[in-house]
């Protein structure tokens, strides 16, 4: 049986167009985009073309896009820059208990620097309460950081509602959209988002590159120092080949393609659930199936240790996961499931995340289901 990759929430294979574009750029545009000679100017033209494509995907201005090394740097940049530059106005931050570690660990770092962080709880479907959020807002709240869609259970969070509530508050609004950017239509200005983080390797682009959207409405000092690249906002010679690869990946995400992917991934999830129902397998969906990222399906397969199940599937050349790839290789339980159910719930050690993406087929999903049933 051929290999079946169902861990696209961890990382995605590069699209052939991305590989072709990166190869072209590495062969033809080796100049430093900051150099003023011809080689530098040609590289700079490519850089700005990529910035325009990415800005258009969000309907924002090109200079509101800052290229970074990926989602973690973008999250750190948004959160730490805001906290350090606005601490004279207040030292209170709000986030959720189910954020990616790139946000949660940054918040923990800031707590050590004297900031106060409110971690909004979630219910057993993984949803936050808007009344909890409203109650948490204070006059000294300077930043709200809430992810667009959760990377483990796939829940879409109430970003528009939060953005609307924050219009009457001075707090900046940051959203980690690393998992959502590939499938959701995101318009930061319409949603009231001031800062938004993404990563190319989640959308069939290269690893080691991403961007931070920073609204013109807010002002932040640079987090790093040492150069004047990215309009003095993020020093360091730009990764032109990676950025152009990200551009090519974004170009594959036209509105029609996003909709087609949503529909296909939704059908894959239904195919799996129908199979489980027909085989009378005891399971529960983790998260809110009614408002979710279409490519993520998190299942509690009752009385089945997930570490053993992953090993059995891996031996059959099938890749799924137990949660965030950033905690892979550790014995740490899912902080998302713990926030939903408590630390002692069996779901913590009996759940797997299945995530769909490029080149996954209905035939592969059927093969996966057959192997899964035989492995339980």
Contact 283, 300 (CB under 8 A): yes
Q: What SS3 string covers 145-194? A: ECCCECCCCCEECCHHHHHHHHCCCCCEEEEECCCCCCCCCCCHHHHCCC
Give the 3-state secondary structure of residue 327. Answer: helix
- Copy the structure tokens of residue 118: 């409110």
CA 94, 96, 97, 98 dihedral sign is negative
Burial zone of 122 (CB within 10 Å; 0-12 exposed, 13-18 middle, 19+ buried): buried
Q: Where would I find the H helices in 29-158?
A: 38-58, 71-86, 101-112, 130-136
The span from the CA of 61 to the CA of 136, in Å, is 32
Which of 182, 155, 109, 152 is CA-nearest to residue 325?
152
Instruction: Sheet containing 141-145: give its strands across.
Output: 65-68, 210-214, 195-199, 172-176, 141-145, 92-96, 116-120
Burial zone of 120 (CB within 10 Å; 0-12 exposed, 13-18 middle, 19+ buried): buried
Which of 84, 130, 326, 358 does the annotation list as catalytic? 326
Neighbouring residues of 331: CB distance < 8 A, sequence distance ≥ 6: none
326 flagged as catalytic: yes
Active site residues: 326
């Amino acid at each position: 049986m051929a290999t079946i990759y169902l861990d696209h929430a961890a990382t995605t294979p590069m699209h052939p167009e991305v590989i072709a574009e990166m190869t072209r750029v590495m062969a033809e545009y080796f100049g430093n985009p900051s150099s003023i000679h011809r080689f530098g100017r040609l590289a700079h033209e490519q850089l700005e073309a990529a910035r325009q494509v990415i800005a258009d995907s969000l309907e924002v201005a090109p200079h509101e896009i800052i290229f970074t090394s990926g989602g973690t740097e973008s999250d750190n940049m948004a959160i730490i820059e805001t906290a350090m530059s606005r601490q004279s106005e207040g030292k209170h931050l709000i986030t959720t208990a189910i954020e990616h570690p790139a946000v949660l660990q940054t918040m923990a770092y800031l707590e050590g620097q004297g900031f106060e962080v409110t971690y909004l709880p979630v219910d057993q479907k993984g949803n936050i309460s808007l009344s909890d959020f409203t109650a948490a807002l204070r006059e000294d709240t300077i930043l709200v950081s809430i992810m667009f869609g959760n990377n483990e259970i796939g829940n879409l969070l109430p970003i528009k509602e939060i953005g609307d509530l924050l219009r009457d508050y001075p707090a900046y609004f940051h959203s980690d959209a690393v998992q959502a950017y590939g499938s959701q239509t995101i318009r930061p200005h319409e949603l009231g988002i001031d800062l938004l983080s993404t990563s190319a390797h989640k959308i069939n682009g290269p690893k080691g590159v991403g961007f931070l959207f920073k609204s013109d409405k807010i002002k932040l000092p640079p987090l790093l120092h040492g150069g004047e690249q990215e309009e003095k906002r993020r020093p360091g010679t730009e990764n032109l080949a990676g950025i152009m690869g990200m551009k090519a990946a974004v170009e594959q995400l036209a509105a029609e393609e996003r909709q087609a992917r949503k529909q296909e991934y939704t059908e894959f999830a239904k195919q799996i659930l129908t199979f489980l129902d027909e085989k009378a397998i005891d399971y529960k969906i983790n998260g809110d199936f009614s408002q979710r990222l279409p490519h993520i399906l998190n299942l509690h397969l009752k009385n089945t240790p997930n570490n053993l199940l992953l090993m059995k599937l891996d031996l059959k050349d099938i890749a799924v996961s137990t949660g965030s790839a950033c905690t892979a290789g550790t014995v740490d339980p899912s902080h998302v499931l713990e926030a939903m159910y408590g630390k002692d719930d069996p779901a913590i050690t009996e759940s797997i995340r299945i995530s769909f993406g490029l080149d996954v087929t209905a035939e592969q999903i059927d093969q996966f289901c057959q192997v899964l049933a035989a492995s339980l």
